[in-house]
Amino acid sequence: MLLLIKTYFKMLYTFKGFYVIINYILVKWFRLGGEIMDFSESIAFTLHEEWRRTRLKEDGTYEPRWKAINDKDFVANIKKDSLPSYLRAVGGGSYEIDIANACYTQLSADWQSENKAAAEVVAKMVESGKKMSKDEVGSVIHSAWLERNSWAKDGPLGVSFSELPKEEQYKDLRQYYVAVKMNEAKMLHESYGDLDTVIRLLSSAKKNGLNVKYNFNGNVLYSEFDNADTCYVKVCGRTRAEQLIAEERHRRDARDRIAKLEAQAGAVNEAQIAEWIERGEKMIYPAKWEDWGKCVKGRASDLYHGSDLVNAMDVMEALHNGQSTAEATKIAEQANHSGFSWAMMMKIVTVFSKRGPEFYRANHEGEIDHKTEEFLQQLETENKQYETAQSKSELVMER
């Protein structure tokens, strides 16, 4: 573990090291951007995808189906100067959405509502664990649909489930099938690294007739229903092709910023660095002093000229003096961090503070992934060992 920490902070020592680490974490591992979906929302997502596939064309796009948007909040948040291909302005401040070329998470609330409601019905049935016949399942689903769509009660679909045409019965039962298969899928708990590796794993599982799922940063991906694009949309909010374009733009911008920062950076003087090193050593275990010195020198000459480091030390000092994690978090928030500097401050506190893992857990939203949890537990184990060693050393000195 100490070797890992040493390697990590060796990379942080330079401007390029900072962006190498951040680029890897945000782009290759976490791939942030998607919305976290619960079980019923995952079902709704898949139901929409299955409908879209009925309109799939040979060129990989879908036969358009434009619909008026009545969701005022959605319209208010549209970036008028950069409309995605599935949105168009129709005049008078109104917009339309191509529901066939937009995934579920890109839809306005009014065009999510039907699949969302249908998914909630089947999710509730599956989660209840109650055994039901095919006709019972179909009757519940169809009755709920008629309640939501009263306009259909006087038409050919306004009959009982058993009287529906076979193709309509299939549509209802398919919703239940999706929910059952998702619920039955075996969760994989191993850590597989980046998203592309997980996609290959799920694809291989499907080819071999295995029904498995994988929790990638809070979003569950299913071998039975997800492909590369739906995995990327769930995790990143974009298709794989769109994400790769965004990643390349991110790398290009990072290179430009690196060149600019290397040309403009003003080095922090040696006296200040020495003061920071001394201040930190009073709060961390001696076994980490060498890595602390490298960290301080790296942060002093990097993007924020040590401002993120100073805030990290303020947080560490609060934790060291027995303040609560909530109080320490308030100190962190007072620094008005950017996303980058917050991430760096968190990493410094997590690795070097004696209560670092505790602070990380208190500030992490959602479930901590398996790989990160292993790292935190390793840190906690090492901290206990360092604490024991330090206590013995102090006892010997007292004698």
Indicate whether 138 and 20 sit together in one domain.
Answer: no
∠ CA 21-193-6, nearest 5°, is: 40
Indicate whether 296 and 375 sit together in one domain.
Answer: yes
Indicate whether 179 and 280 sit together in one domain.
Answer: no
| Residue 256 belongs to some domain of the structure | no
The pLDDT value given to residue 250: 84
Indicate whether 309 and 174 sit together in one domain.
Answer: no
184, 218, 246 - which closes a domain = 184
| Residue 143 belongs to some domain of the structure | yes
Helix, strand or coil, per DSSP, at residue 20: helix
Q: Is 315 exposed, middle or buried (0-12, 13-18, 19+ CB in 10 A)?
A: buried
Helix, strand or coil, per DSSP, at residue 268: coil
pLDDT (tens digit, 9 = 90+) per residue, 356-396? 999 999 998 888 888 899 999 999 999 999 888 877 665 44
Indicate whether 110 and 17 sit together in one domain.
Answer: no
Query: How many independent structural domains does the chain possess?
Result: 2
Indicate whether 276 and 389 sit together in one domain.
Answer: yes
* Band of residue 8 on the pLDDT scale cut at 50, 70, 90: very low
Indicate whether 72 and 141 sit together in one domain.
Answer: yes
Task: Tell me the average pLDDT across 284-307.
Answer: 85
pLDDT (tens digit, 9 = 90+) per residue, 119-151? 999 999 999 999 999 999 999 999 999 999 999
pTM of the shown model = 0.57
Strand bridging mode 219-222 / 212-216 = antiparallel
* Band of residue 230 on the pLDDT scale cut at 50, 70, 90: very high
For the stretch 232-236, contacts whose Cβ atoms lie closer than 8 Å and that sit 24 or more positions apart, written own/partner, are 232/31, 232/195, 233/34, 233/103, 233/105, 233/106, 234/34, 234/37, 234/45, 234/105, 235/31, 235/33, 235/34, 235/195, 236/31, 236/32, 236/33, 236/34, 236/195
Scanning the structure block, which residue is given the tokens 């095919």? 134
149, 184, 219 - which closes a domain = 184
What is the span of the domain harbouring residue 147?
Answer: 39-184
Indicate whether 22 and 120 sit together in one domain.
Answer: no
pLDDT (tens digit, 9 = 90+) per residue, 40-50? 999 999 999 99
Indicate whether 6 and 93 sit together in one domain.
Answer: no
* Band of residue 185 on the pLDDT scale cut at 50, 70, 90: very high
The pLDDT value given to residue 129: 92
Task: Tell me the average pLDDT across 272-289.
Answer: 92
pLDDT (tens digit, 9 = 90+) per residue, 246-268? 888 888 888 887 676 655 545 56
The pLDDT value given to residue 2: 45
Indicate whether 320 and 390 sit together in one domain.
Answer: yes
- Say which range, 17-31, 108-122, 132-146, 173-187, has the weakest mean pLDDT: 17-31
Kindly tell me the sign of the dihedral angle through the C-alpha atoms of 291, 296, 297, 299.
positive
Q: Is 130 exposed, middle or buried (0-12, 13-18, 19+ CB in 10 A)?
A: exposed
184, 219, 237 - which closes a domain = 184
pLDDT at 7 over 60: no
